[in-house]
Structure 1
């Protein structure tokens, strides 16, 4: 990138000297303006095309991963699931005290959650966007005699800034595993 910039500067100096010799030549002046614009564009986008400068420097990036810190039995129906162990929270959109993700920026977001349950247990959950149920997840271990079973679900949502996304339980009396087994994640595309 620097080599290109040095070559352009050399060309600009040559063009400037040349334009002083031929004051009537407006082509070089227009070329000079175009080169200045291209250099400024290359500086502000770090040489990349089609990206906003702020996004290249880490701004407007949003992503989180949270999980349960412990197992939970007899969960009440309609309770918001609080994934209290936050692993990543770029953009500070996820609140581990409420279990809600609040979009810091408008955009297209991807969310996913996984629930692990054991034998003779089940766990049904739903993802909500501003109070509207979007999708459901059913981890059903009632039909297995040994082991565990997990279920995952994912959605893509167009969010406005300050929109809320969260997961609620669907029934009472459920069981789910915590630690690294049950997670909630999302990011801005």
Structure 2
């Protein structure tokens, strides 16, 4: 009888310990979802892309299709379309930069580089920048930054906007890259 009682006590002790461990796991999981302390437990979403060459300014409504992909965690950026599609709902940050040329590059003559570039969420403008090289050797750059709440499947793209661009846009090691990047923060 002593052995049977000992086994019953062990089972009761283990059940109590199991109950405490379940409660601890539940508390940590709830805490993790409320803070950034659990980042290593979820899939990361981040991308950084740029044009690998200087190019002619784009007409209104043209999506910038960045061909050089450095980072694409979560596979949200599509190199063929230039569109980032949110793989999960959450809060994201995005930044985009345009470098206009104060020289005639990319087969251009006449006007120097000028371009407006807007970031769009499902076709709605969420931010806009303008870079304008007014004279020879007057290179200009502009960078935009936004924080957006996205649903899974929302599309983000950088679009030539407001006016037809003119001249040339830089994207090289010497004068700076024309870029697009973003990552999920919550």
Change over 3 Å in CA distance of 1:118–1:136 after alignment to 2: same
Q: What residue in structure 2 maps to residue 51 of structure 1?
A: 32
Q: Give the SS at the match of 1:81.
A: coil
Specify which of 139, 142, 160 is matched with residue 169 of structure 1.
160
Change over 3 Å in CA distance of 1:158–1:133 after alignment to 2: same
* Superposition deviation, residue 173 in structure 1: 3.8
CA RMSD of aligned residues (A): 3.0
Change over 3 Å in CA distance of 1:145–1:49 after alignment to 2: same
Q: Give the SS at the match of 1:111.
A: strand
Q: 1:119-177 CA distances to partner (integer Å, 9 max, x unpaired)? A: 232111111110111111101221x5424221100111111111001011123243211
What is the alpha-carbon distance in structure 2 between the residues aligned to residue 76 and residue 20 of structure 1? 79
What is the alpha-carbon distance in structure 1 between the residues aligned to residue 160 and residue 9 of structure 2? 76
Contact 2:57 2:169 in 1 (8 A): no
Q: What residue in structure 2 maps to residue 184 of structure 1?
A: 180
Q: 1:31-88 CA distances to partner (integer Å, 9 max, x unpaired)? A: 534543366x29xx7xx882259853452x1000000011111422210000111000
Answer yes or no: is 1:154 the counterpart of 2:145: yes
Answer yes or no: is 1:36 the counterpart of 2:21: yes
Contact 2:87 2:153 in 1 (8 A): yes
Counting only pairs closer than 5 Å after superposition, residues 97-108 of structure 1 correspond to structure 2 as 97-108=80-91
TM norm structure 2: 0.74
Contact 1:71 1:179 in 2 (8 A): yes
What is the alpha-carbon distance in structure 2 between the residues aligned to residue 162 and residue 139 of structure 1? 30
Counting only pairs closer than 5 Å after superposition, residues 1-189 of structure 1 correspond to structure 2 as 20=9, 32-37=17-22, 41=25, 50-51=31-32, 55-59=39-43, 61-119=44-102, 120-142=112-134, 144-170=135-161, 171-174=163-166, 175-179=168-172, 181-189=177-185
What is the alpha-carbon distance in structure 2 between the residues aligned to residue 147 and residue 105 of structure 1? 42
What is the alpha-carbon distance in structure 2 between the residues aligned to residue 101 and residue 169 of structure 1? 16
Larger Rg: 1
Change over 3 Å in CA distance of 1:122–1:186 after alignment to 2: same
Contact 1:100 1:165 in 2 (8 A): yes
Q: Give the SS at the match of 2:21.
A: helix
Contact 1:126 1:167 in 2 (8 A): yes
TM norm structure 1: 0.73
